[in-house]
Amino acid sequence: MELENLSVLEEASLLSGASEWDSRGIAKAGIPSFVMSDGPHGVRRQLGSGDHLGIGESKPATCFPTASALANSWDPDLAEEMGKALGEEARKLDVNVLLGPGLNIKRNPLCGRNFEYYSEDPILAGRMAAGLIRGIQENGVSACPKHFAVNSQELRRQASNSVIDERTMREVYLTAFEIAVREAKPWSIMTSYNQINGVYAHENHHLLQDILRDEWGFDGMVVSDWGGSNSAVDAVKAGGSLEMPSPGYTSVKEIVDAVAAGRLSKSDIDRRAAEVARIASRTRTTGVQRDALLDAASIDAHHQLARRVAESCQVLLKNDVVAGRTVLPLAPQSRVAVIGDMAKTPRFQGTGSSKVNSTREESLLDEFMHSADVTVAGYRQGYERQGDANPALIEDAVALASGDGTEVVVAVLGLDERSESEGLDREHMKLPAVQNDLMKALKAVGKPIVVVLIAGSPVELPWIDDVDALLYVGLAGQAGASASLRVLTGAVNPSGHLAESWPVSYDDCPNSQCFPVAERDAVYREGPFVGYRYYETADVPVRFPFGYGLTYSRFSYSDLHVDEQGIAFSVSNTSDVAGESVVQLYVRGPANGVLRPDRELKAFVKVALRGHESSRVRIDFDRYTFRHFDQTSQSWKVETGRWTVMVAEHCESVMLQAEHEVVGDMEPVPADPELGAYLKGRVKEAGDAELAVLFGRPVPAPKKAAVFGANDPILAWQDSPGFLARTMVRILLRHERKTREKTGSPDLNALFVLNMPPRVMCKMTRGQINADMVDAVVAIANGHACRGMGSFIAAYIRNRKANRNIAKELQHG
């Protein structure tokens, strides 16, 4: 690999993609082009130019449980095993960089991509991501954790500014990435679409240089999200290495011109080019055909692995005693009525760029039918999947459930394909009303009811008191159905625990009144009080707390010992059934210290124990246990004082606790009384003055832009004075709604365009459109149709000529 002899133009050409999925190579310097592909829970390798929204065809690959399900396993080693299989498949399918895992913090349960993310907690998200990354990279494939950072809503996803205080950003939103980077050393990382405090992630020096590289020691490539870069020149300066997918030569030209004009240093380009070239050498493949497919042995082995992973992800949320025994596992040979469309037509992943063309598919109904452990009394659809009212389906289901042939009802419920998608946030946290109506009718039958719930995010459960058992499956991948059956029949003891809190109703969420934000500025008003950090501090009851999950075993905990280095305690399985306990370590800071949530997760361990077996467990403290980000010195500090350490089964159930004197590097600093409502975590009561204290600066209220710019989403044109722009948006909106109603799935292309700012046109059109042409489009949107058209044509001619010249120059190198 020879970079020294490359011209500025050649180096600049390495810094943007050649096509939807390919980087540019330079043969004479021994730098091959490499392939990037989604996504976090399976390989989505498209041939040709493809699309980045999961719509087009891709090679078959194993669909593992999505991140939100995987996190419920609380098992980073399992994530590593899954990562290894992903890496193997990536290799075989000619992929060098796998675009995942996604590890954004779940700020609000309605974010459309939450199913692609792990948790509301950074320690859990970071550790799970680190496991997956290690596994992927063992195969010489680069993992690419994303979306860095503070990316929490899909509405306006490419035109949103996350306004956040530095301390919350560091402690809650960046710590997961920090753990992933420090522990697993990913070779690349993907920046997010949004701005952070006014600066795009891909050109954010503070994020990419000060924090990622200087503080965490990242030495890899920073790739933009697809169409997510803004100024090519600012990105190179700030630490963004590769723009994807395909700005053609427009960015190359901008970079070369900036060097010529002295606005960009050659050494910055050298550094970025070396980062891209290093990926090519680290992931170099030999002998893999572009159209290679998976072999039968891998397909089979990975399907089994997908099942094992799915088994660990299932969370038993309720299991009542009926007639002297718990409803689950189902009694041998019980006669089961299987009810619910999702039992027959499975749903096991979300919609969007992460969508995998799975090698196999299972349905829960088939699995029941083939089970030797239970008898199927019958199947009824129960509800229309898309939520249309159909009372006849409910009547049919009730008739089956009431019949003498049925002993237990298994109702399979869930969210449909429209509800969980990239590009679209959920509108509410409810299941379709028809499913809730079905549950009301089934309750009247009076037989035991088991609910199997398929959804990548929490839903409100108005019928929870009417059912006897609830198994939360999540989006469990292509082998999710057989995994669920094995849990229902007791072949597998459930060991999953919730990786996010389940509020009773959406209104209980700390940010329910300000999510998603329709204007540019999304203000993170709740500060650090996200998920259980809020519910526990503000004393808001939840349906199921963070970390919650039942098993068929019983565990007890004793003999907590705390020393300077960590804690030790004993855990015993007091039942006959072998099982796994997920033990969680929480800490509470000194009473006179800085503002903090009531408790915070700092470590966890999954302990497998045979019936009546005990084990002594040790957890060491680490750099994350007692630290906080000190706003004054802008550095991590530990407060000296009396801390509380808690060993818990979930965030509300503390089994053992002790006080522990920590000798830190600063005396406790009492929280500023001006923080008002924040002192008790009551973030919804906090006014602007308290918010300004939390942020250390006044925070202006979000406002609408008066004139449309290159960075405002096309959606905003619905208010444009220009007839053309207004009409185009209305047509797109109507088209999207109609497609959704007709197909049951969102129209991702239309959504992408609506949330896209015009600048993205010059990032995704292989150089056909440049910045001058974008400005012309913007003039049209602002009602200057004639002027805009004229400039567009002139810029088009200039751009074509410039592109031809660059292509010629690169060819003759």
Tell me how far apart the alpha carbons of residues 564 and 339 are, in angstroms, rounded to a whole number. 55
Binding mask 100-139 for ligand BGC (x = CB under 6 A): ----------------------------------------
Q: Which residues are catalytic?
A: 225
Cβ 195 to ligand BGC, closest distance in Å? 15
Residue 410 three-state SS: strand
Comparing CB distances to ligand BGC, the nearer of 258 and 762 is 762
Tell me how far apart the alpha carbons of residues 516 and 511 are, in angstroms, rounded to a whole number. 9
Cβ 52 to ligand BGC, closest distance in Å? 3
Could you say whether residue 747 binds ligand BGC (CB under 6 A)? no
Could you say whether residue 52 binds ligand BGC (CB under 6 A)? yes
Comparing CB distances to ligand BGC, the nearer of 117 and 502 is 117
Comparing CB distances to ligand BGC, the nearer of 33 and 570 is 33
Cβ 353 to ligand BGC, closest distance in Å? 4
- Residue in the block written with tokens 């760029």: 353
Cβ 225 to ligand BGC, closest distance in Å? 5
Please give the structure tokens belonging to residue 411.
Answer: 């109702």
Please give the structure tokens belonging to residue 769.
Answer: 């459109």
CB 184 within 8 A of CB 149: no
Query: Dihedral sign, CA of 476, 123, 520, 110?
Result: positive
* Neighbour-count burial for 100-130, b at 16+ CB within 10 Å, e otherwise: bbbbbbbbbbbbbbbbbbbbbbbbbbbbbbb
Comparing CB distances to ligand BGC, the nearer of 189 and 365 is 189
Task: Candidates 59, 92, 127, 146: give the one binding ligand BGC (CB under 6 A).
Answer: 146
Instruction: Report cis status (omega within 30 of 0) of the bond before 701.
Output: no
Could you say whether residue 88 binds ligand BGC (CB under 6 A)? no
CB 119 within 8 A of CB 500: yes
What is the crossing angle of helices 771-781 and 723-743, to 10°?
90
Q: 571 phi and psi, to 5 degrees?
A: -130, 135
Comparing CB distances to ligand BGC, the nearer of 148 and 555 is 148
Number of residues this chain uses to bind ligand BGC (CB under 6 A) = 8
CB 560 within 8 A of CB 567: yes
Could you say whether residue 353 binds ligand BGC (CB under 6 A)? yes
Tell me how far apart the alpha carbons of residues 100 and 129 are, in angstroms, rounded to a whole number. 9
Could you say whether residue 38 binds ligand BGC (CB under 6 A)? yes
Tell me how far apart the alpha carbons of residues 125 and 116 are, in angstroms, rounded to a whole number. 11
Cβ 146 to ligand BGC, closest distance in Å? 6
Q: Are strands 579-588 and 641-650 parallel, antiparallel or unpaired?
A: antiparallel
Could you say whether residue 194 binds ligand BGC (CB under 6 A)? no
Could you say whether residue 152 binds ligand BGC (CB under 6 A)? no
Could you say whether residue 99 binds ligand BGC (CB under 6 A)? yes
Tell me how far apart the alpha carbons of residues 140 and 145 are, in angstroms, rounded to a whole number. 16
Tell me how far apart the alpha carbons of residues 482 and 312 are, in angstroms, rounded to a whole number. 12
Could you say whether residue 348 binds ligand BGC (CB under 6 A)? no
Cβ 568 to ligand BGC, closest distance in Å? 41
Comparing CB distances to ligand BGC, the nearer of 171 and 420 is 420
Tell me how far apart the alpha carbons of residues 118 and 9 are, in angstroms, rounded to a whole number. 41
Cβ 128 to ligand BGC, closest distance in Å? 17
Could you say whether residue 226 binds ligand BGC (CB under 6 A)? yes
- Residue in the block written with tokens 């237990």: 408
Comparing CB distances to ligand BGC, the nearer of 353 and 711 is 353
With CA atoms as reference, report the closest residue to 13 among 21, 24, 22, 4. 24
Comparing CB distances to ligand BGC, the nearer of 44 and 533 is 44
- 380 DSSP β-pair partners: 339
Task: Candidates 225, 417, 712, 747: give the one binding ligand BGC (CB under 6 A).
Answer: 225
Cβ 479 to ligand BGC, closest distance in Å? 24
Q: Which residue is nearest to ligand BGC (CB)?
A: 52
Could you say whether residue 178 binds ligand BGC (CB under 6 A)? no
* Binding-site ranges for ligand BGC (CB under 6 A): 38-39, 52, 99, 146, 225-226, 353
